[in-house]
């Protein structure tokens, strides 16, 4: 079978089995015929508002069928969806619009009045058919901004797919997929959409809640899902009876990615769900390369994010660009194919003339080609020349039973350049001095010099965090 437009694939699925449930959310079931009709109606609305082939349409909506309808309507109109976080500040939204203004926006109101705004996707149908077209770029998400100002990442691939072939070895061709993360996040968006196109049914949660996730898996017999480490932590903190493994018996595999996973957390999760049912992928919105590791492999190489797949090659380089030897830490560079899989808008790519690219992560490769990550180069805390990985500090803190969440960051220090601080969310009645003592026992001189207690989640629904913002928030007066 050859590649066909996203629009044609949906239409064929609706023709083949109109009553097939494609999306299940808080409002109930949406069938293939209903999604197809809603996407067509919205595509007509977009075209009436001036959207044309290869235009970009921003989508800022909560999880649910309306988000899915908006994107398929955009593809049917021949345009490119730009998923945007619903948590963007007005300033961040305005910055994105300045560097690449979309023709239209659905859901959240755009900052500019020059952009056509459509509050929702539920519009009356219009007469007339639409041509089968496919945008040259299938998605143009904005990054989370966790490592700096948000930027736009335009995919080089068109809105076409061969639905007869699995998208990746770790994404089954058919599945009942539970969507727990925000659909505006690049990985969640990618696997939900591409899964739907090859035969998935989507069980979409409003937002992640550990008991709600378990109930949805149990009720809908979910077989596949994507998690981030923060979600894994919350699942494991449920009482054993509440997370009885029988409740997740339908799950065939779970993929986790999106943030560093502490070895203690990973080991506990594998013990709960079963190593054979857990996989991990390291990749970015840029799709410039990826690695994969099964849970069983991981037990033999704790801390690894796997070996390269999908034609990816890896090199570890020092700051001068020189290749390092096996086992030496340096900047991780990847190469996947002769042409870039993305193009930045609002940022300059680090891709070199030979096609090697980096996400800015520090790591090493062992003798068997397994990659181990230590942290992002931009996140490392420079304490008097000692480069401390925040993930190391966070793992030590979160190993304490009273710490629900921890985020480490550097704060300016006159004597050593930077001091290690951490924000933590604690269970009721927790002792900060006890947590500090636990951290010192685990980390020694690398332990935080200060803990800042927070009551709200430190990471967003996609598991991302803005360390610089936390440093500004918690920096001592006068810094």
* Strands (E) located in 298-360: 304-308, 312-317, 330-336, 342-345
**Rounded distance, CA 121 to CA 46, Å?**
10
How many Å is the Cα radius of gyration of the chain? Answer: 23
Show the domains of the chain with their CATH numbers. 260-378 (2.30.38.10), 380-474 (3.30.300.30)
What is the reported pLDDT for 350?
A: 84
| Angle at 174 (CA atoms; ends 172, 179), nearest 5 degrees | 80
For residues 190 and 382, the answer to whether their CB atoms sit within 8 Å is no
**Rounded distance, CA 7 to CA 134, Å?**
8
**Rounded distance, CA 338 to CA 69, Å?**
34
What is the reported pLDDT for 146?
A: 47
Q: Quick count: other Cβ atoms within 10 Å of Cβ 47?
A: 17
Mean per-residue pLDDT pooled into runs of 10, the chain (479 residues):
93 97 97 98 98 98 98 98 91 91 97 96 93 97 64 93 92 97 94 97 96 97 95 93 96 92 92 97 84 97 95 93 94 89 83 87 95 84 82 90 91 83 92 94 91 89 81 69
Closest to 261 in 3D by CA, of 286, 240, 225, 230: 230
Q: Please report where in the chains the tokens 């930077």 appear, as a residue.
A: 418
What is the reported pLDDT for 477?
A: 54
Q: Please report where in the chains the tokens 């994107």 appear, as a residue.
A: 71
For residues 41 and 67, the answer to whether their CB atoms sit within 8 Å is no
For residues 61 and 109, the answer to whether their CB atoms sit within 8 Å is no
What is the reported pLDDT for 144?
A: 54
Element (H, E) at 138: none
**Rounded distance, CA 85 to CA 150, Å?**
10
**Rounded distance, CA 11 to CA 334, Å?**
37
**Rounded distance, CA 464 to CA 446, Å?**
23
**Rounded distance, CA 293 to CA 238, Å?**
26
């Amino acid at each position: 079978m050859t590649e066909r437009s996203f629009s044609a694939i949906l239409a064929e699925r609706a023709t083949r089995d109109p009553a097939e449930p494609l999306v299940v959310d808080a409002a109930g079931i949406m069938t293939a015929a209903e999604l197809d009709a809603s996407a067509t109606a919205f595509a007509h609305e977009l075209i009436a508002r001036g959207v044309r082939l290869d235009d970009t349409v921003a989508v800022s909506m909560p999880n649910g069928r309306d988000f899915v309808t908006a994107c398929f309507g955009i593809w049917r109109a021949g345009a490119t969806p730009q998923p945007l976080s619903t948590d963007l500040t007005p300033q961040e939204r305005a910055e994105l619009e300045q560097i690449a203004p979309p023709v239209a926006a659905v859901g959240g109101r755009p900052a500019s009045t020059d952009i056509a705004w459509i509050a929702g996707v539920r519009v009356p149908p219009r007469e007339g058919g639409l041509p089968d077209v496919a945008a040259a770029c299938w998605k143009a998400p904005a990054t989370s901004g966790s490592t700096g100002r948000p930027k736009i990442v335009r995919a080089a691939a068109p809105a076409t797919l061969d639905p007869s072939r699995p998208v990746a070895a770790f994404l089954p061709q058919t599945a009942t997929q539970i969507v727990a993360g925000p659909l505006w996040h690049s990985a969640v968006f990618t696997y939900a959409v591409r899964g739907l196109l090859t035969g998935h049914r989507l069980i979409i949660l409003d937002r992640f809640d550990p008991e709600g996730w378990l109930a949805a898996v149990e009720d809908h017999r979910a077989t596949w899902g994507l998690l981030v480490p923060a979600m894994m932590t919350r699942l494991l903190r449920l009482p054993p009876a509440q997370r009885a493994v029988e409740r997740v018996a339908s799950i065939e595999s779970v993929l986790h990615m999106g943030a560093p996973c502490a070895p203690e957390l990973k080991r506990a999760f594998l013990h709960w769900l079963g190593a054979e049912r857990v996989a991990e992928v390291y990749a970015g919105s840029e799709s410039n390369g990826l690695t994969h590791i099964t849970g069983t492999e991981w037990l033999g190489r704790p801390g690894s994010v796997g070996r390269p797949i999908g034609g990816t090659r890896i090199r570890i380089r020092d700051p001068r660009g020189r290749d390092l030897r096996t086992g030496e830490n340096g900047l991780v560079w990847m190469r996947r194919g002769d042409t870039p899989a993305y193009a930045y808008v609002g940022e300059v790519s680090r891709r070199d003339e030979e096609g090697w690219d980096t996400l800015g992560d520090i790591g090493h490769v062992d003798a068997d080609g397994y990659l181990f990550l230590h942290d992002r180069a931009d996140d490392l805390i420079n304490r008097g020349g000692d480069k401390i990985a925040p993930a190391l500090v966070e793992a030590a803190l979160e190993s304490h039973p009273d710490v629900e969440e921890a985020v480490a960051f550097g704060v300016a220090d006159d004597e050593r350049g930077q001091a290690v601080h951490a924000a933590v969310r604690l269970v009721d009645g927790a002792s900060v001095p006890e947590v500090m003592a636990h951290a010192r026992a685990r980390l020694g001189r690398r332990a935080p010099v200060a803990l800042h207690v927070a009551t709200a989640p430190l990471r967003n629904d996609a598991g991302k965090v803005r360390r610089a913002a936390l440093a500004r928030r918690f920096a001592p007066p006068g810094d």
